[in-house]
Amino acid sequence: MWNELQRSIFAAECARAGAPPLAPMGLRMVGPVIMGFGTPEQKAHYLPRILSGEDYWCQGYSEPGAGSDLAALQLRAVSDGDDYVLSGSKIWTTHAQFANRMFCLVRTSTEGKLQAGITFLLLDMQTPGISVKPIITLAGEHEVNQVFFDAVRVPKSGRIGAENQGWTVAKHLLEFERGGGSAPRAPSGAGPRPDHRRRRGRRQPGLPPPAG
Ligand SMILES: Cc1cc2nc3c(=O)[nH]c(=O)nc-3n(C[C@H](O)[C@H](O)[C@H](O)COP(=O)(O)OP(=O)(O)OC[C@H]3O[C@@H](n4cnc5c(N)ncnc54)[C@H](O)[C@@H]3O)c2cc1C
């Protein structure tokens, strides 16, 4: 895996060449998490699909009552055999309308510290019970969404790390989201700047939708 200097050099060269930005949520966010915490089966399944672009990911962290205070998240995941049953909603989910996969944080326990009851889960956006409601910004753009979960069954094989250890996984992801997610600006006269749109909050939104 590249270190920060290597990632910075790659990003600088891409920017210098005017290359389009790569979708960060698979390559820069959930990919390193799967490499660090995934089982051999999860690595074999997901990593090639991230590299090929076959899977397009969205990030299900924020909730209506849990933004900056992320540990307050409430989306409930109740254990039922080989599945979790999810109920609740996520908000500000960039490109949920395009994504076929979501990595998310869910609440698997309400005991003890808030952080100690969170689990990191991968899911298929086509699963019955998921609905995506657009949020149109003041600029008239459809980039973010609210995603509703109504008794959605998610196989436990999609869990990354142990149950209730999701906060540790999320902190690992943060290193790549914050540390490696942004490309430097191209120096003046070094070719066109890539189409980096605004970046606010935790997100690096504004990427083009996947082809097809
Ligand atoms: C364009 C865009 C795309 C996004 N995409 C995603 C996504 O794909 N997935 C996802 O999970 N989330 C996404 N987010 C959510 C984002 O990353 C933040 O979690 C969210 O914007 C912050 O939560 P909130 O909006 O509820 O604000 P709040 O947490 O309510 O904060 C509101 C204001 O209060 C301030 N504040 C909060 N707490 C304190 C405190 N203790 N002390 C002082 N000031 C405080 C904040 O700095 C902020 O200015 C996106 C946000 C934007 C704007």
Pocket of ligand 1 (CB under 6 A): 58-62, 67-68, 92-94, 144, 200-203, 205
> Which residue, 126, 166, 191, 189, is CA-closest to 37?
166
Give the pLDDT of residue 195.
36
For residue 61, which atom of ligand 1 is closest to its CA?
11
Per the structure, the complete domain to which residue 51 belongs is given by 4-179
Number of folded domains that form the chain = 1
Cβ neighbours for 80, distance < 8 A, ≥ 6 positions apart: 153
pLDDT in tens, 40-66: 999 999 999 999 999 999 999 999 999
Q: Is residue 208 part of a domain?
A: no
Distance 13 CA to ligand 1 centre (A): 31
Give the pLDDT of residue 117.
98
Cβ neighbours for 54, distance < 8 A, ≥ 6 positions apart: 48
Radius of gyration for the alpha carbons in the chain, expressed in angstroms and rounded: 17
Q: How far is CA 126 from CA 13, 21, 64, 99, in A?
A: 37, 26, 22, 9
Q: Is residue 196 part of a domain?
A: no
- Which residues carry out catalysis? 177
Distance 190 CA to ligand 1 centre (A): 34
For residue 58, which atom of ligand 1 is closest to its CA?
8
Give the pLDDT of residue 179.
57
Percent of the chain whose pLDDT exceeds 90: 74
Residue with the nearest Cα to atom 37 of ligand 1? Answer: 68
Report whether pLDDT(143) > 80: yes
Report whether pLDDT(76) > 70: yes
Distance 68 CA to ligand 1 centre (A): 5
At 102, the pLDDT band (50, 70, 90 cuts) reads very high
Q: Is residue 205 part of a domain?
A: no
Q: Is residue 10 part of a domain?
A: yes
Q: How far is CA 2 from CA 7, 37, 179, in A?
A: 6, 17, 12
Pair 207, 195: CB distance under 8 Å: no
Give the pLDDT of residue 77.
98
Three-state SS string across 67-83, please? CCCHHHCCCEEEEECCE
Q: Is residue 172 part of a domain?
A: yes
Query: What is the arithmetic mean of pLDDT over 21-44?
Result: 93
Report whether pLDDT(37) > 80: yes
pTM of the model: 0.84
Query: What is the arithmetic mean of pLDDT over 12-37?
Result: 92
Average pLDDT, the chain: 86
Q: Is residue 201 part of a domain?
A: no
The whole-angstrom separation of Cα 76 and Cα 31 is 24
Region of 87 please: left (phi>0), alpha (psi -120 to 50) or beta.
beta
CATH number of the structural domain spanning residue 49:
2.40.110.10
Q: Is residue 185 part of a domain?
A: no
Q: Is residue 160 part of a domain?
A: yes
pLDDT in tens, 150-207: 999 999 999 999 999 999 999 988 877 765 444 444 444 333 333 333 333 444 444 4
